[in-house]
Amino acid sequence: MLVISLILFSKTRDLTKLKKYEEAFIEEQAKKHSEQNEFFPMVIHELRSPLSVISGAADLLIKTTGELSAEQIHTLLHQIKSSSSGLLKVVGDILDISKMEGGKFQISETYGDIRDVLREECGYFEPLAKIKNVTLSCPVSGKIPSFSFDSDRVKQVLNNLIANSIKFCPEKGKVVVNARKDARSVIVEVADDGVGIPDKDKPMIFHKFFQASNQAGVGEKGTGLGLAICKGIIEAHGGKIWMEDNKPSGVKFIFSLPIK
């Protein structure tokens, strides 16, 4: 009797475990299906948008020859160039996120000084900050040793963080990019005094496709992949990325890169 009870107990426990695995599998499949349902419409929208513009500009250049001024022609050609670059970026983002999810994303580390990267990125964004009447500063000082990191990919992260900060800053706002050495890492901060991120959005901020709910009136939507890609890049380095409130307003995005 005792043996039968023990066998029954063991089988019941196995069935319970099996049931739990089954539920977890179904939940994961449902989540993947839901992500695919979000992913494809987003991809279609983000590819079609610049393609509509490129095709439209070409149509005007072809069909209204002689009716456009030199300035209008220049604007249309500039728009083709700008939308083509945007399209290439979207395709690049989609490829990056696919590789990250497939475990195939790789970085290429070379020995360098991260302060050069920060100054270069700040210099690149200076004109945009001026147009928006935002003060962008990069007071990088202090001893930060050279170390191995993927310069292009770290630039990609900074591109995303600085662009977002400027985008969400009001006129006369400030964006500060800084770096310091920790015990075994370099810590980089991008801080702004903009609109901040609503509390309810904070847990989701590094999830792919996520867009903060307070984006009304601050420009085009984008893919919602930027911060997810930043996270993938920093984690591929063995580092971490997180967000803090910047008192009294705005946000601070911080990432660490281990010194190798």
Partner 1 sequence: MPKKILFVEDDEGFYNIFSVPLKMKGYDVIHVSDGSLAVEKVITEKPDLILLDIVLPGTSGLDILKELREREDTKEVKVVMLTNFGSDDNISKAMEYGSNDYLMKYNIVPSELPAKIAGLLGEAQESVVRVTES
Give the H or E element holding residue 7: helix 2-63
Single out the residue of 148, 159, 214, 249 in contact with partner 1 (rule: CB under 8 A). Answer: 214
Three-state DSSP at 183 gives coil
Which range in 91-99, 152-160, 215-223, 225-233 contacts partner 1 by CB under 8 A?
215-223
Single out the residue of 107, 204, 218, 236 in contact with partner 1 (rule: CB under 8 A). Answer: 218
CA 17 to chain CA centroid, nearest Å: 38
The alpha-carbon radius of gyration of the chain (Å, integer) is: 24
Neighbouring residues of 64: CB distance < 8 A, sequence distance ≥ 6: none
Q: Which is nearer to partner 1, 76 or 118 (CB)?
A: 76
Which range in 130-138, 140-148, 219-227, 239-247 contacts partner 1 by CB under 8 A?
219-227
* Residue 83 interacts with partner 1 (CB under 8 A): yes or no: yes
* Residue 220 interacts with partner 1 (CB under 8 A): yes or no: yes
Instruction: Give the shortest CB-67-to-partner 1 separation in angstroms.
Output: 7
Instruction: Give the shortest CB-25-to-partner 1 separation in angstroms.
Output: 30
Residue type, 67: E
Instruction: Give the shortest CB-243-to-partner 1 separation in angstroms.
Output: 20
- What is the C-alpha separation between 90 and 87, in angstroms, rounded? 5
Residue burial 208-246, b: 16+ Cβ < 10 Å; e: rest: bebebeeeeeeeeebbbbbbbbbbbbbebbebebebeeb
Q: Residues 117, 151: contact at Cβ < 8 Å?
A: yes
Q: x/- binding map, residues 19-48, to partner 1, per CB under 8 A?
A: ----------------------x--xx--x
**Residues interacting with partner 1, by CB under 8 A?**
41, 44-45, 48-53, 55-57, 59-60, 63-68, 72, 75-76, 79, 82-83, 86, 211, 213-221
